[in-house]
Amino acid sequence: MISRRQALVGGGAGVAVVAGSAVAVGVANREKPEPAAPPSTDGKGHTVWRNWSGIQHSYPVQRSAPKDEAELAALLKAGPAPIRVTGAGHSFTGLCATDGTLVSLDAMSGVVGWDGDEATVWAGTRLGALGPALAAKGRAMANLPDINKQSLGGALGTATHGTGRTLKAIHGDVTALTLVTTGGRVIDCDANTRPDVFNAARVSLGSLGIISKARLTTTANRRLRRRVWVEPFEEALEKGEERWKTHRNFEFYAVPFTGLAANISHDETDDPALDRGPDQDTAFLDVLKTLRNLLGFSTGARRAAAKALLGGAKPETAVDEGWKLLSTERPVRFNEMEFHLPAETQLAALKQVVETIEKHRPDVFFPIEVRRIAPDDAWLSPFQGEPRGSVAVHAYYRDDYQFLFELIQPIFVKHGGRPHWGKLHSLKGPDLAALYPRWNDFLDVRRELDPQGRLLNPYLKTLFGL
Ligand SMILES: Cc1cc2nc3c(=O)[nH]c(=O)nc-3n(C[C@H](O)[C@H](O)[C@H](O)COP(=O)(O)OP(=O)(O)OC[C@H]3O[C@@H](n4cnc5c(N)ncnc54)[C@H](O)[C@@H]3O)c2cc1C
């Protein structure tokens, strides 16, 4: 058996050989030039804001980074509308774009205080900074997403989640929060005090006001053992359900055009730390992209080459504290659509997504991410009321992503999926109202807290109306 690293390094050589023969038969490289960046300033000298993937941009007339709740309240009352708050700008939809006021809570960051094992945290805190701050007290967030660049406010804003059958999305561990409104009110809420605001605000896309701080339950800061292994896709489909039951965290990536899946599990351990080693995910993606570029003309040849290069890799293991292991770096940019499906339809939807891509879109090479999330009761939580299984389809940032709307979204909708609030989808208010039993209650709270719609940019108006 060879390690995944050896397979990838060896893969480079194998791919080079394939490259030679492919060039010889004149196969076109499918990679496209990067789309042109928008001008860095508009005609009036306002500086551009862009999201992480580069597909959203705007020119805010005012940018502010308040230092406390009083400054934030004054800004929300007087700043030019639409007023949008952004954290790390890692959402793919037009949530944060504004030609009015763009607010950053970067100056409101860190742990405010502790109440037993619950930590009150400023909403501008990046998840990556929260890990060490909680670990200093022997505590940790129960779960983390794939990366830890997000702000806490941004993670709550879109119901950001990790994976694990018994683990909720981040907002599911919030027990109280403070919301500052466009009327300049500072509202403290929890399950007993203004429960309507609490239920609406935990996941609210920055459309009710700006969350200044939140109280989070934490868990003991345990070490986890991480395992990564590659196997046939059919086996991953067959064993996925059982693995969600047995592992603390489990997810897998279906790799289209390869017949393979990459599994990742995390389980608690008292074993000593074992280094994860250098990033291999980028090399894995490079191999897949090269196979796409060179063998995209033949699904059979691409599959055979992928199996030879990646199929026999030995499992990898690492041990460390959860906050150091659960999130990784994602240096390769992409655009993404993720829907959260009822657990019982998740894998059927996944199979159809893979079949559709393999039939119609040989340009796709990114693996498809498959996760499970525990339920909670926030009104606009995609996990509201029942466990959900997520399926996320990625398009390399230089590649066309329209197929996500045309081919993939209909499959998710047919299987009862709810879209990730920060990722690509084209559903509008009436579609969403049918998916969320408390949609109208949310709209009532929204109208009460922001009666003039000062927080609504054109994109949010397509979701919530005026
Ligand atoms: C590489 C990458 C990996 C990702 N991995 C995952 C993953 O594993 N799981 C997952 O679920 N998602 C994932 N995402 C999506 C990401 O977690 C969400 O889009 C998240 O909202 C981004 O956080 P942010 O701080 O960048 O927020 P932004 O994108 O800046 O804002 C998101 C929303 O939150 C609102 N908001 C921000 N701060 C506040 C506040 N203080 N009060 C009220 N509203 C606020 C904004 O107005 C906006 O509506 C990933 C995205 C990328 C680019």
Its pTM stands at 0.95
Residue 390: CB partners within 8 Å, gap ≥ 6? 161, 163, 338, 339, 340, 341, 346, 369, 370, 371, 372, 373, 420
Which protein residue's CA is at the shortest distance from atom 37 of ligand 1?
Answer: 154
Query: Residue 309 Cα, ligand 1 centroid: separation in angstroms?
Result: 35
pLDDT at residue 312 in the model: 81
Would residue 55 count as lying in a domain?
Answer: no
pLDDT digits (tens, 9 = 90+) for 105-151: 999 999 999 999 999 999 999 999 999 999 999 999 999 999 999 99
Structure tokens that stand for 87 in this block = 């954290």
Identify the CATH number of the domain in which residue 214 sits.
Answer: 3.30.465.10
pLDDT at residue 311 in the model: 87
Say yes or no: 124 and 246 in one domain.
no
Contacts 24+ apart (CB under 8 A), 361-364: 361/403, 361/407, 362/257, 362/292, 362/296, 362/297, 362/299, 362/302, 363/30, 363/292, 363/296, 363/399, 363/400, 364/256, 364/257, 364/292, 364/393, 364/395, 364/399, 364/403
Say yes or no: 216 and 230 in one domain.
no
Say yes or no: 302 and 342 in one domain.
yes
pLDDT at residue 281 in the model: 86
Chain Cα centroid distance, residue 129: 18
Query: Residue 419 Cα, ligand 1 centroid: separation in angstroms?
Result: 14
Query: Residue 170 Cα, ligand 1 centroid: separation in angstroms?
Result: 11
Query: Residue 76 Cα, ligand 1 centroid: separation in angstroms?
Result: 21
Ligand 1, pocket residues at CB < 6 Å: 52, 84-91, 95-96, 105, 123, 145-147, 150-151, 153-155, 157-158, 160-161, 205-206, 210-211, 330, 420, 422
Query: Residue 152 Cα, ligand 1 centroid: separation in angstroms?
Result: 8
Say yes or no: 360 and 437 in one domain.
no
Dist. CA 250–CA 264, nearest whole Å: 6
Domain that holds residue 134: 111-220+429-464
Would residue 319 count as lying in a domain?
Answer: yes
For the chain, what is the domain count?
A: 2
Say yes or no: 331 and 305 in one domain.
yes
Would residue 68 count as lying in a domain?
Answer: no
Say yes or no: 208 and 266 in one domain.
no
**Strands, DSSP E only, in 124-255?**
139-140, 164-168, 174-180, 186-190, 210-217, 219-220, 223-232, 249-255
Say yes or no: 290 and 338 in one domain.
yes
pLDDT at residue 418 in the model: 98
Low-confidence ranges of the chain (pLDDT < 70): 1-31, 466
pLDDT at residue 18 in the model: 43
Identify the CATH number of the domain in which residue 237 sits.
Answer: 3.30.70.2520
Would residue 138 count as lying in a domain?
Answer: yes
pLDDT digits (tens, 9 = 90+) for 403-436: 999 999 999 999 999 999 999 999 999 999 999 9
Would residue 37 count as lying in a domain?
Answer: no
Would residue 174 count as lying in a domain?
Answer: yes
pLDDT at residue 33 in the model: 79
Would residue 145 count as lying in a domain?
Answer: yes
